[in-house]
Structure 1
């Protein structure tokens, strides 16, 4: 489990393995950091960006989302061309 202080401002990342033949650069990606185990609601998603095959979202003061102490679930959503619409829970995040 990734543990970060509430005062940090940095990217959290999620590795995405795309369908064969798919280049992720240029495909919109969103991420959600939620304090529950359910699928994120539409208003909980934030625009993210790519660093190679890593989706990343800036969290913390001045970022897309400021988090308080607690345990969160990190989600990533990618919609490449074709039939797939990828939504994955990437893992837990603890804010201290």
Structure 2
């Protein structure tokens, strides 16, 4: 994934949740975090930003014009977490380059 530092747009992460093969609708909003590549750590509480669901996609508005967060140029690991019944999985969802 790549985005210009001056762009305001949604970052999307596809999430598939199922129990016994049947899809599960996730109600609580997803949370996303962006850590610099090479940080070697998992996100901590203050790293998480609340996103929203758009179908099976978690999304978060990035950028300087009303985005939840504006990221400086660099490379980031994208993390996602969400409530799924008794579980709260945390996944590294990919990399984001901000140029």
TM-score, scaled to structure 1: 0.88
Preserved CA contact (<8 Å) 1:37 1:73: no
Alpha-carbon RMSD across the aligned residues, in angstroms, is 1.3
Q: Distance in 1 between matches of 2:35 and 2:18?
A: 26
May I ask how many residue pairs the two structures share in their alignment?
Answer: 93
Structure 1 residue 19 displacement after superposition: 2.8
Which residue is equivalent to 1:94? 97
Q: Distance in 2 between matches of 1:3 and 1:28?
A: 24
Gaps of 5+ in 2: none
**Runs ≥4 in structure 1, deviation > 3 angstroms?**
none
Which residue is equivalent to 1:60? 63
Per-residue CA shift, 1:34-88, capped at 9, x if unaligned?
2134211110101100011110011111211101110001111011223x21111
Gaps of 5+ in 1: none
Does residue 50 in structure 1 map to residue 53 in structure 2?
yes
SS in 2 for 1:81: coil
TM-score, scaled to structure 2: 0.86
Q: Distance in 2 between matches of 1:33 and 1:13?
A: 13
SS in 2 for 1:43: helix
